[in-house]
Structure 1
């Protein structure tokens, strides 16, 4: 299971990189950045497919999507995007949902 968690964290990191690269891809007009986005998403999904061999898909996907979403928001703020109260509350709800799913799946 610990190997799956490490692999999942890698998949999340790659997905966050690919998502953060989307503006640089400029609507897929910048070939290098476009390739980074496509390869990043493909690698992330491939890694996620390996994770679900040993972790339930509902938990793995919730973690991948939830943590990825929160991390993209953090990266966005680091790159100058604004954080409103509505965004902060919404992200907190996502994190709470991921925690809830993990606690429910642990029994």
Structure 2
């Protein structure tokens, strides 16, 4: 159940960040409100996750997976550039997240 809650927090953060891009610097009402609601949900679910998971592990997964997925959305939806350095950086984020998870207590 804790991983489902964490997945919900990640999804809410991704939706909030994507809405933030559409908010045009918080100058558009609905994307701005969507951003606020999604981040409130993301932090609420992350807080619930922290009741039973180590903070370092939970935050690393939340931030790492969120960062990687937002980078993919940036390329796929917003047509951002892809470079070998960006791909290497994302792979390092994923590897670091996995290492923290594997090194944590279960």
Q: Report if TM-score (shorter chain) is over 0.5.
A: yes
Find the counterpart in structure 2 of residue 7 from structure 1: 5
Find the counterpart in structure 2 of residue 77 from structure 1: 75
Find the counterpart in structure 1 of residue 103 from structure 2: 104
Q: Deviations over 1:20-54 (max 9, x none)?
A: 11121011110110000011111101100000000
Q: What are the within-5 Å matches in structure 2 for residues 81-92 of structure 1?
A: 81-92=80-91
Quote the RMSD (CA, aligned, Å).
1.0
Q: Deviations over 1:88-107 (max 9, x none)?
A: 00000000000100110046
Paired positions, count: 105
TM-score between the two structures when normalised by the length of structure 2: 0.95
Cα distance in structure 2, aligned partners of 1:55 and 1:5: 9
Q: What are the within-5 Å matches in structure 2 for residues 41-52 of structure 1?
A: 41-52=39-50
Instruction: Specify every segment of 5 or more residues in structure 2 that has no aligned partner in the other structure, as ranges.
Output: none
Q: Deviations over 1:71-96 (max 9, x none)?
A: 00111111111111111000000000
Query: Greater CA deviation, 14-23 or 48-57?
Result: 14-23
Instruction: Specify every segment of 5 or more residues in structure 1 that has no aligned partner in the other structure, as ranges.
Output: none
Find the counterpart in structure 2 of residue 33 from structure 1: 31
Cα distance in structure 2, aligned partners of 1:94 and 1:85: 14
Q: Segments of 4+ in structure 1 off by > 3 A?
A: none
TM-score between the two structures when normalised by the length of structure 1: 0.94
